[in-house]
């Protein structure tokens, strides 16, 4: 069993839709990261969370430490949001990565 | 925000040659740098952790003699893939942490290595 599980694995949405990507983890963490990887491979760090909620533009990330769960929300999705979104957790000693959620937003 | 660069962004080499990949923190001092590898359609896998001025710590299963890591300064870490083979073809990504703590990681754009 992976330490970090993401769902769904693949997601197709129409432009403008509200999108949610979920991440569950089984280890104690000091922080959780949401990463965005575009075709071609470049990775951008979207959020780092240790509690609560963060918002950046149309992106919102939440984390529930007790439930060991985090969600990434995209409001008013756009084709340029098409990418792979990766959840990663830091235990303080090690990083564990989810396998990613491939998002395609159709115009 | 903090920026991490990698060079080259892609490289093609012949089997048996060595390839060096650089990871630089452009506007902060990186006390710790991490090297990851990603095979197609798979998640990132941590290869090693390097701290400035000391030997890198390699993850289980990663050959330290094959993947040489040097973190000679607070802004530069290098990964050298020695005697590269086609199975080493992968996407190599570095991340860097500053003095604020290990939780803050800034990712480089990655280097795609193809070994013919």
Partners of residue B34 in chain A, C-beta under 8 Å: 95
pLDDT tens for each residue of A23-64: 999 999 988 999 998 776 677 888 888 899 999 999 999 999
Residue B67, pLDDT above cutoff 90:
yes
Nearest to B105 by CA among A83, A43, A76: A43
From A94, which residue of chain B is nearest by alpha-carbon distance?
Answer: B46
Residue A99, pLDDT above cutoff 90:
no
Instruction: Please enumerate in sequence order all residues whose Cβ is within 8 A of that of B100, keeping only pairs 6 or more positions apart, or say none.
Output: none
- What is the spatial distance between Cα B116 and Cα B105, in angstroms, rounded to a whole number? 32
Residue A92, pLDDT above cutoff 80:
no
pLDDT tens for each residue of A65-90: 999 999 999 999 999 999 999 999 88
Check CB contact of B5 with chain A, cutoff 8 Å: no
């Amino acid at each position: 069993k992976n330490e970090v599980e993401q769902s769904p694995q693949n997601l197709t949405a129409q432009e403008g839709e509200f999108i949610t990507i979920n991440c569950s983890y089984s280890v104690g963490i000091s922080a959780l990261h949401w990463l965005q990887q575009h075709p071609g491979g470049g990775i951008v760090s979207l959020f780092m969370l240790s509690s609560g909620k963060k918002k950046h533009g149309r992106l919102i990330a939440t984390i529930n430490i007790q439930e060991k769960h985090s969600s990434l929300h995209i409001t008013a999705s756009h084709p340029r949001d098409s990418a792979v979104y990766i959840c990663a957790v830091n235990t303080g000693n090690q990083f564990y990565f989810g396998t990613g959620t491939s998002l395609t937003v159709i115009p | 925000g903090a920026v991490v660069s990698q060079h080259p962004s892609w490289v093609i080499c012949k089997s048996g040659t060595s390839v060096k990949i650089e990871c630089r923190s452009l506007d902060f001092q990186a006390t710790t740098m991490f090297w990851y590898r990603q095979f197609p359609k798979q998640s990132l896998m941590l290869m090693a952790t390097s701290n400035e001025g000391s030997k890198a710590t390699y993850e289980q299963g990663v050959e330290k003699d094959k993947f040489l890591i040097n973190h000679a300064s607070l802004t530069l870490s290098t990964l050298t893939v020695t005697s590269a083979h086609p199975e080493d073809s992968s996407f190599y990504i570095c991340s860097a942490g500053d003095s604020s703590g290990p939780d803050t990681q800034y990712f480089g754009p990655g280097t795609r290595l193809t070994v013919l």
